[in-house]
Amino acid sequence: MKQLQERGTLGLAFIAGLSINGTFAALFSSVVPFSIFPIIALVLTVYCLHQRYQNRTMPVGLPSLAAACFVLGLLLYSAFVRAEYPAIGSNFLPAVLSVALLFWIGIKVRARKAQVTE
C-alpha cells in the first residue's frame, strides 16, 4: 500500500509540472491558444499534493524523486508544445533532458524498490 501512495505522489508531481507549464503557456504565450483546463488541473493537483503533505510523512528520498517528476513534467510539456508549434524553437534540448531525467528517475525508483525488499 505504501508503494501505491508513493507512486501517487510522483504522479501528482508529474501532473503538477505539466499543468504549471500549460498554465504559463496558456496565459502568457501568444502562440498557444488559451484553455482553462491547465489552470483547473494545476489547482487540483496542488490541492491533492498539499493534502498528502499534511496527512502523511514523506519517506527519505521521495522529495527528490517528486521534484524530478515535477521537472520531467515541465520539460515534457515544453517539448510537446515546441514540436506542435515550431515557431517557438527547437525541442531538442527539452527532449534530451527529459530522457536523461526519466532514466535517472527509473534508476532511483529501482534502487528504492530494492532497498524496501531487503
Residue 66 — pLDDT band, cuts 50, 70, 90?
A: very high
pTM: predicted TM-score of the whole model, two decimal places: 0.90
Range of the domain at 70: 2-117
* The three cell numbers locating residue 114: 530494492
The whole-angstrom separation of Cα 86 and Cα 97 is 18
pLDDT tens for 22-60 read: 999 989 988 888 999 999 999 999 999 999 989 888 888
pLDDT of residue 5 exceeding 80, the answer is no
Q: At what angle do helices 62-84 and 92-117 cross, to 10 degrees?
A: 150
Q: Give the pLDDT confidence score for residue 117 in this predicted structure.
A: 75
Measured CA to CA, the distance from residue 64 to residue 2 in angstroms comes to 17
- Domain total in the chain: 1
